[in-house]
Amino acid sequence: MEPAPSAFRAGPDFCPECGTVLPLPGVQDRVTCVCCDFAIAVRDFEGRLVQSSVEFHRPGATAVPAGGDGQEVKGPVIDRKCPQCGHEGMVYHTRQMRSADEGQTVFYTCAECKFQEKEDS
């Protein structure tokens, strides 16, 4: 009995039955879809190059440019006085630095002197 035609036109990294991303081949002789139990032989992946990359940022780096070299600091502005130069108006952004059940960290940058500070909430 021949299998039913596939519901999807999928690339080799996707399940042709449900469209889910297939897990990477491991030590087993078959790769099995986690959603619909579609299986394909590992030997069908021979000769395929799998690449991945991870980009890390320096510890303490912020998403807002520091503003050196005449760059303008961009982002939403809040009515907050800069503790360094006294300018009214600081650019801010938030980032989840701790576990999900704790508050976000707010980073402030002075639009005038580029002084930066953070506040944990």
Binding-site residues, in ranges, read 15, 18, 33, 36, 82, 85, 110, 113
How many CB atoms lie under 10 A from the CB of residue 29? Answer: 10
- The number of angstroms, rounded, from the C-alpha of 65 to the middle of its chain's C-alpha atoms is 19
- Taking Cα atoms as reference points, which of 12, 5, 22 lies closest to residue 49? 12
Tokens describing residue 73: 């600091």
Q: Please report, in range form, the residues annotated as the binding site for Zn(2+).
A: 15, 18, 33, 36, 82, 85, 110, 113
